[in-house]
């Protein structure tokens, strides 16, 4: 399983942008829970804390494609530095507003700016891989590695920010997130040799979401985002219902751990099945993996089944980004990948809201049915529109 990853990082500058991208992306799993812990601790209102965190998520989801377009038009270096600086100031303003007990609207204003200036560094790192290995089977392995990196971040980030905020200082979690974002982003911006060249825009440019295949992928990933958002919230409630609230982190780590394992395995394989075929199979496996959750009453049994359900996450993300890389023109690549992140972001917000409402009304176990329904929606939409995902016969970096 390790063999295909050997030599992946040997090129000039590769280790640098991979490390910078990892550090700079850490806040994507730290901001939400960090804001909730800080604001709820200072205001004693989970409703306010959740609303402020949701404002950040939704603002990012709306703004990510626009910042992606700026990156495609002007290059990563020229866009990252000003956005990262504004993002650091906005996050500092949010912490200051909370600490000084300023009017509540200042929290929402700062959160709005935090989300709007957050960059999709994952899309930028994948764009660098595309520039480096475009037309090579190694791109499939590189995308698999990035999916594993995302899962590592989502396993370690929430635990780190929780320990910092509860054991050291309520501001410590967000302060570390700010340092990681600014340091990683500026380090990535400084690596000019590996950034993708700015491609000329032809025919007025357009936007990737108007490409039928990309629009279909966006709908699919809206459903998958709803799975992620609902499972996170419902699992915390499930652990609390069974008197083991402290085990919620372990249960969610099992879900992400399944994705890490499958990502490493999936990226090590040379596939004969088409990208479209792999994508549809991964969606079907996701539906099958989520089906048993509503019938499980023991937390440690749930951990095992969450691990199994998580096995489908990385393959769906890897194939989705690979399909996007093939469907959009090079001049719109970063924006195209940002649309996938945006769709997931909207789905996460929807899933968290629906999961919370259903958990309060029917209990955590039955609320898992929403996650299953969202996965089924994604699979049905993907299957119904699969013809839009047919790719040209030209050599593909992800077709091996």
Angle between helical axes of 333-362 and 46-74 (0-180°, round to 10): 170
Kindly tell me if the per-residue pLDDT of 17 is higher than 50. Answer: yes
Kindly tell me if the per-residue pLDDT of 399 is higher than 60. Answer: no
Q: Give CA separation, 231 vs 152, 190, 259, 379, in Å.
A: 18, 37, 14, 17
- The band of 107, judged by pLDDT with boundaries at 50, 70 and 90, is very high
Kindly tell me if the per-residue pLDDT of 285 is higher than 80. Answer: yes
Q: Which of 39-48, 200-209, 287-296, 315-324 has the lowest mean pLDDT?
A: 200-209
Mean pLDDT of 301-308: 92
Name the DSSP class of 211: S
Which of 273-311 are b and which e, b meaning 16 or more Cβ less than 10 Å from the residue's Cβ?
ebbbebbbebbbbbbebbbebbebeebeebbebbbbbbb
Q: Measure the CA angle with vertex 81, ends 79 and 84; round to 5°.
A: 100
CB 276 within 8 A of CB 186: no
**All residues at 6 or more sequence positions from 120 whose CB lies less than 8 Å from its CB, including other chains:** 64, 67, 68, 334, 337, 338, 341
- The band of 394, judged by pLDDT with boundaries at 50, 70 and 90, is very low
Span 164-190, pLDDT tens digits:
887 888 899 899 999 999 999 999 999
- The band of 246, judged by pLDDT with boundaries at 50, 70 and 90, is low
Share of the chain above pLDDT 70, in %: 93
Kindly tell me if the per-residue pLDDT of 20 is higher than 90. Answer: yes
- The band of 100, judged by pLDDT with boundaries at 50, 70 and 90, is very high
397: left (phi over 0), alpha (psi -120 to 50) or beta: alpha
What pLDDT, on a 0 to 100 scale, did the predictor assign at position 181?
A: 95
208 membership: H or E segment, kind and range: none
- The band of 221, judged by pLDDT with boundaries at 50, 70 and 90, is very high
Kindly tell me if the per-residue pLDDT of 368 is higher than 80. Answer: yes
Share of the chain above pLDDT 90, in %: 30
Kindly tell me if the per-residue pLDDT of 1 is higher than 80. Answer: no
CB 110 within 8 A of CB 59: no
Q: Give CA separation, 114 vs 64, 70, 121, in Å.
A: 12, 18, 15
Determine the Cα–Cα distance for residues 162 and 172; give it in Å rounded to an integer: 9
Kindly tell me if the per-residue pLDDT of 393 is higher than 60. Answer: no
- The band of 400, judged by pLDDT with boundaries at 50, 70 and 90, is very low
Under DSSP, is residue 153 helix (H, G, I), strand (E, B) or coil? helix
What pTM value is reported for the model?
0.77
Span 194-213, pLDDT tens digits:
888 887 766 555 777 888 88
Span 108-120, pLDDT tens digits:
999 999 999 998 8
Mean of all residue pLDDT scores within the chain: 84
What pLDDT, on a 0 to 100 scale, did the predictor assign at position 162?
A: 75
Kindly tell me if the per-residue pLDDT of 362 is higher than 50. Answer: yes
CB 303 within 8 A of CB 248: no
Span 22-45, pLDDT tens digits:
999 998 878 877 887 788 788 877
- The band of 396, judged by pLDDT with boundaries at 50, 70 and 90, is very low
Determine the Cα–Cα distance for residues 159 and 395; give it in Å rounded to an integer: 42
Kindly tell me if the per-residue pLDDT of 15 is higher than 50. Answer: yes
What pLDDT, on a 0 to 100 scale, did the predictor assign at position 88?
A: 96
């Amino acid at each position: 399983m390790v063999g295909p990853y050997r030599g992946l990082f040997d090129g000039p500058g590769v280790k640098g942008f991979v490390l910078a991208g990892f550090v700079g992306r850490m806040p994507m799993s730290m901001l939400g829970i960090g804001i909730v812990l800080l604001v709820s601790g200072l205001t004693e209102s989970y409703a306010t804390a959740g609303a402020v965190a949701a404002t950040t998520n939704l603002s990012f989801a709306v703004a990510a494609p626009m910042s992606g377009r700026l990156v495609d038009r002007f290059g990563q270096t020229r866009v990252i530095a000003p956005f990262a600086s504004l993002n650091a100031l906005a996050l500092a303003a949010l912490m200051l507003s909370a600490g000084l007990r300023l009017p509540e609207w200042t929290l929402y204003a700062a959160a709005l700016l935090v989300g709007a200036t957050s960059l999709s560094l994952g899309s930028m790192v994948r764009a660098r891989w595309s520039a480096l290995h475009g037309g090579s089977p190694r791109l499939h392995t590189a995308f698999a590695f990035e999916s594993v990196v995302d899962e590592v971040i989502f396993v370690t980030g929430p635990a780190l920010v929780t320990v910092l905020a509860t054991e050291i200082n309520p501001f410590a979690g967000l302060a570390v997130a700010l340092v990681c974002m600014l340091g990683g982003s500026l380090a990535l911006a400084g690596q000019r040799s590996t950034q993708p060249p700015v491609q000329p825009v032809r025919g007025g440019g357009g936007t990737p979401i108007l490409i039928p295949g990309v629009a279909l992928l966006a709908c699919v990933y809206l459903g998958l985002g709803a799975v992620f958002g609902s499972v996170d919230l419902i699992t915390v409630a499930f652990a609390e219902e069974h008197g083991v609230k402290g085990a919620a982190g372990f249960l969610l780590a099992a879900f992400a751990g399944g994705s890490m394992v499958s990502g490493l395995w999936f990226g090590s394989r040379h596939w004969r099945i088409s990208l479209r075929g792999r994508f549809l199979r991964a969606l079907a496996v996701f539906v099958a993996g989520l089906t048993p959750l509503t019938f499980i009453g023991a937390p440690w049994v749930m951990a095992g089944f969450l691990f199994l359900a998580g096995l489908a996450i990385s393959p769906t993300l890897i194939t989705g980004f690979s399909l996007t890389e093939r469907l959009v023109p090079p001049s719109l690549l970063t924006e195209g990948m940002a649309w996938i992140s945006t769709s997931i972001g909207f789905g996460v917000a929807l899933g968290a809201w629906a999961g919370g409402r259903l958990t309060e009304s029917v209990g955590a176990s039955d609320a898992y049915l929403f996650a299953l329904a969202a996965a089924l929606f994604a699979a049905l939409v993907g299957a119904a529109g699969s013809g839009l995902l047919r790719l040209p016969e030209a050599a593909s970096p992800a077709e091996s």
